[in-house]
Copies of this chain bind each other. A is one copy, B any other.
Amino acid sequence: MKQSKQTRQQVIHYSVGTGRLGLALQEEYMRHLEQVQQEIGFTYIRGHGLFHEDIGIYQEHKTRSGCKPFYNFTYIDRIFDRFLEIKIKPFLELGFMPKSLSSSDETVFYWEGNITPPKEMSQWCQLVDATIRHFIDRYGLLEVRTWPIEVWNEPNLTNFWKDKDQQAYFELYHQTVLCIKRIDSKLMVGGPAICGGSDHWVDDFLTYVKKHDVPLDFFTRHAYTSKPPKVTFDYYYQDLEPPQDMLNQLESVRNRIDQQGFSHLPFYITEFNTSYSPINPVHDTLVNASYLAGVLAKAPQYVDGFSYWTFSDVFEEFGVPKALFHGGFGMMAFHGIRKPTYHLYRFFKQLGETILAQDDNMLVTKTEDGRITCLLWHYTDEKGEVDHLTKTVTLKEAQTDYFIQHERLTETAGNPWRTWQQLGRPRFPSKQQIDLIKKTDTPCIETEQIHGPSLSVTLSKNEVRLLTIVPITDNTDSYPGLDDRLITSY
């Protein structure tokens, strides 16, 4: 069980992922993020590539006294200024290695992030030191103390850390945290940012930390639940483990952390999603949302923060995306088109902290301003037609009249991917086609007035639905002379 005082909402909207940070220079990216912040609102944003060449922090400078490191903050300032302007804070991930500091040539992704240890640890530490000090200069120490600093990404994979060399990673973590704490002991540093499947790293890392008395302010891990892929030319297809599988992963890691004596440590899932592939069409579908509904509803009891990977299809790990819908991670597709998972997060934002009822398909809450908000979902991995699911929401309030607003995501509503299919899957849709698709990125809204203490709701396959329930007073009698029956045809 998690130990921190993060509320449910804070855990769910803790952070959101982005491809590499350099993409944040782009206009399309920033428009998406602005809309996400307005309609959802995350606290942090985490992405790769802080030290990558496209941001270009590490450079060398010829001067009269020879060649010296030169730290260029032109681009990272532009990015972080904008983040803070739209009220999202950086969750720093230190990596990958600047080419000039790298010990070897191995890279990951289309954009070639160097995944090797530094050729000289002291040069790396100088880079980290100069960068963090610059952030403090520009944004103030009080601000930077609120930015978690994570060392590297998935060192347990050869793709991301040369030879997945555990000792080399521990050494990197060790030197990095020491260097940061020398600047200010209240800066928060954590790791090891491992992905699932190597949880012995949890014990190994915590043992190392204890043994060497290394500071550690939070623990991070990633979580995906897709089974092995069927790879076709341009796509990955994967079935998914049940949602409970992800919950089990989280609980198990939390337990390991506690057992190592770190029950005080916050535990952040700094990446998660159904599939870990940016060309898996599941991300564009309704099933992605209905699957994650069940995860997000229950996970706050195990972890202190999630970071959905990623908020936008502006993403280049496999190169420039080849079509409007291409299986990208984004909650939001190009042209600001909102996928079902975007709305799932938007729905969660409407929930209150007080839980009135909860089961595997429903979460009923009360908000501070007196609304009842209720999320329902009907996830299934069965193919073909599936029975509808009927749920009953009990309204315990004394009032007998309620206004109910239903926001429904179904195969035919709030499903722009389907509209795109109906338009013949245009790769590079025209303005007219984009307009037609965008018109369908909104849930279907239905409203009603009910009398009585409960409400029955029927969900179609994979439907995700938000109810907003407001007790009302009927003022009809206060209108002198009002009589709708006198209107033509009423």
Contacts and interface: CB of A to CB of B under 8 A. Distances in A.
Contact of A25 (B28, B369, B470, B479): B28
Interface string A458-490: 000110000010101111101111111111111
Interface string A220-240: 000000000010111101111
Nearest to A461: B489
A74 B320 contact: yes
Contacts of A421: 449, 476
Give the number of times this chain occurs in the complex, counting copies.
4
Report, as a range, how many residues of chain A touch the other chain: 35 or more
A20 to B, nearest CB: 13
Contacts of A82: 27
Contact of A230 (B64, B474, B486): B486
B424 A237 contact: no
A45 B235 CA distance: 37
Nearest to A287: B489
A77 interface: yes
Contacts of A412: 446
A72 interface: yes
Interface string A411-426: 0100000110111111
A432 B369 contact: yes
A277 B70 CA distance: 22
A440 interface: yes
A475 B29 CA distance: 27
A287 B62 CA distance: 28
Interface stretch (A98-106, A116-124, A256-264, A379-387): A379-387
A445 interface: yes
B432 A449 contact: no
Contact of A26 (B27, B77, B334, B488): B27
Interface string A259-289: 0000000000000000000000110010100
Nearest to A280: B487
